[in-house]
Structure formats: C-alpha cells, structure tokens
Amino acid sequence: MNAPVNTDTPTLIVIAGPTASGKTAAAIQLAQHYNTVIISADSRQFFREMNIGTAKPTDAELAAAPHYFVNSHSVIEPFSVGDFERECLILLDELFKTYKVVILVGGSGLYIKAITEGFDDLPTADPDIRDRLNTEMAIRGIGVLQERLKEVDPEYCKLVDINNPQRVIRALEVYESTGKPFSSYQTQSSKSRPFNVIKLALDMPREILYERINQRVDFMINEGLLQEVELLVPYRHYNALNTVGYTELFDYFEGKISLDAAVDLIKQNTRRFAKRQLTWFRKDKDIIWLDAGDTNLTANMLSAIDNILPHVN
C-alpha cells in the first residue's frame, strides 16, 4: 500500500522493472504527458564511456524529454550510491521549484531505494581492506569472495548482482570493517522526504522478457558493442566496468573465451540480473505492477497515478 500523499507537495513518479522491459519508453510517455523531466536511476547509464552495453537512451529519446544522470560521470570517477543519493536530492530540490512532477526511471533497485527511502550512514571504506580484497580477487577469482559474502550476508546476496565485483567487495569491506553485514545498514523505516513517491513497475511473462534480453544483446553486438568494449580495455580495472556486457568481452579480448561464448554469457548473466531485479522489486509492497506489453500501458500508468494522487499535472 502506498503511503498517503499530500496534494500540496511535489511528486516523484518511479518507473522500475527489469532490464529490457521498456522503462525508457514508458518514462518518456509520462514525462511528455506531465511536461516534465526524467532522472535516470540506472547505475550504469551515468557513465559517458558506456553507451551501447548499457542500453542508454538514444539521441532521439534524450531529445524527447530532458534527462539527468545520463552521461553525467566518467568511469574513472568514483561514484557510489551514497554519492547518487546526495546529488540527486539536491537536484530534486531544484527541479521541484519548476515542476510539480518528476520521473525517476531505472532498474537499479538500490539507487531507487536511496532516493525514495534513504539508507543508514554507511561506514567509510578502509582503503587497505579494499586493496586486499581487490588483490585477492585478482589472484583467486571472484568466486572465493562470492562464497564468503554468502556466508556473512546471505540476505544481501539474494538481492545484489554477485557477479558485480564492485558490489561484492563493497559489502565485504563493510563487514570486515564493522563486523556487521552490509544489509544491516539498509534503513528499515523510510526517511522522510519532502515529496510524494508513487512507484510503478513494468512486468511481462518471463519467457518474453528473456527473449527480449537475448534480442537486445544481439542488437548491441550488431551496433558495435565489441568496438566499444575494446576501447575501454585500458580502463577495465575501474569499478564501473565490472558489469555485465563488459567483463565477458574483456575476457574475450584477453583470450580467455571465444566471442560466441562471451555473447552467450552476456545473455545468460543479463537474464540472471533481470531475475534478481524482479526479486528486489517484488519485496517492495508500495510498487504498483503493470503489464509492459499492454497496448494501453500509458493510460494504465496514468490511471494508477490518478488513483493515488488525483489531478496531478
């Protein structure tokens, strides 16, 4: 059940859901209806150097509605969920001086949670612990760290992409620094926000979603993903590039696997990622689920919003 809303305060409309479910198009439809702007909560679309592999909005889509936090940072700049929370709340404060409604779109549940609910203050990372974990991963592989995280923080493992070394190492360094699991720092009760929050999410039958993912990966390869990743090989040690669609092709360029195997792995890992996204979002009882394949999707979104907060404009 969504929390009661105040018609005198501005509203943040969240469009969530798994990768390849059509969130970008849905967000643009809402932004045009409300004559407003879009904030990306996709943790990979922040980075200027990562375009094809992140399914970033096209130039035409970016022109259809103003977007924030797309191409906003470089892969060489550290940018955490805490940084996003701080910068995005400052931005929202400014945007709500002009717009009564703002759209937040993305599949990164942790980043959406940061804006809508907030976190307990996370401890400062110990550089020595991080360096040791990175060295251990380089020598022994990520599997050892994944198993350790499953032992010390099984709850977080159910939700996070454990194939993402950045997430695994961050959770382990918090545990090793404090003796408390990373999941214990996730706020159990929402922090007060000076705006209403309405959460929508897109869903579709699993077999259709998986086929869309497979087709999207093939499209990315045809659009030049291989060339994009090759240019990023010198930067592969940066955390932003430890992600699906890039790590598999880095392995190909290092001669560890064939190109066909790399592409198959991208599809498989993306499908697994989508499953984890759905697990995360289904735990949020405030989310209103909508059929992404419905031809009346935009009307259904507007109806759902109007049921919570009538006459938003």
Among the listed residues 282, 273, 305, the one whose alpha carbon sits nearest the alpha carbon of residue 26: 305
Distances (CA, A) of 253 to 50, 199, 231, 234, 249: 17, 41, 11, 11, 6
CATH architecture for segment(s) 11-119+187-308: 3-Layer(aba) Sandwich (3.40)
Give the model confidence (pLDDT) of 7-18 as tens digits. Answer: 679 999 999 999
Establish whether 22 is an annotated binding residue.
yes
Q: How far apart (Å, rounded) are the C-alpha atoms in residues 62 and 226?
A: 24
Instruction: Please report where in the chains the tokens 């499908």 appear, as a residue.
Output: 271
- pLDDT the model gives residue 1: 47
Give the model confidence (pLDDT) of 211-265 as tens digits. Answer: 999 999 999 999 999 999 999 999 998 888 989 999 999 999 999 999 999 999 9
Establish whether 18 is an annotated binding residue.
yes
Establish whether 116 is an annotated binding residue.
no
Tally the C-alpha atoms within 13 A of residue 171's C-alpha that lie toward its C-beta: 30
Angle between helices 206-223 and 259-282 (to 10 degrees): 140
- Tell me the chain's radius of gyration from C-alpha atoms: 19
**What is the CATH code for 127-185?**
1.10.20.140
Q: In the chain, where are the structural domains located? A: 11-119+187-308, 127-185
Q: How far apart (Å, rounded) are the C-alpha atoms in residues 59 and 111?
A: 24
Establish whether 27 is an annotated binding residue.
no
Give the model confidence (pLDDT) of 186-207 as tens digits. Answer: 655 568 899 999 999 999 999 9
Instruction: State phi, psi for 71 to the nearest 5 degrees.
Output: 60, 30
Establish whether 109 is an annotated binding residue.
no
Establish whether 224 is an annotated binding residue.
no
Task: Determine how many CB atoms are found less than 10 A away from the CB of residue 87.
Answer: 15
Residues 6+ apart with CB under 8 A from 34: 99, 100, 101, 103, 312, 313
Task: Name residue 86's amino acid.
Answer: R
pLDDT tens digits, the chain, 313 residues: what are they?
455 555 679 999 999 999 999 999 999 999 999 999 999 999 999 999 999 999 999 999 999 999 999 999 999 998 888 899 999 999 999 999 999 999 999 999 989 999 999 876 667 767 788 888 888 888 888 889 999 999 999 988 877 777 778 788 888 988 888 888 888 876 555 688 999 999 999 999 999 999 999 999 999 999 999 999 999 999 998 888 989 999 999 999 999 999 999 999 999 999 999 999 999 999 999 999 999 999 999 999 999 999 998 766 5
Q: Taking a C-beta distance cutoff of 8 angstroms, is the pair 277, 114 a contact?
A: no
Q: How far apart (Å, rounded) are the C-alpha atoms in residues 244 and 267?
A: 9
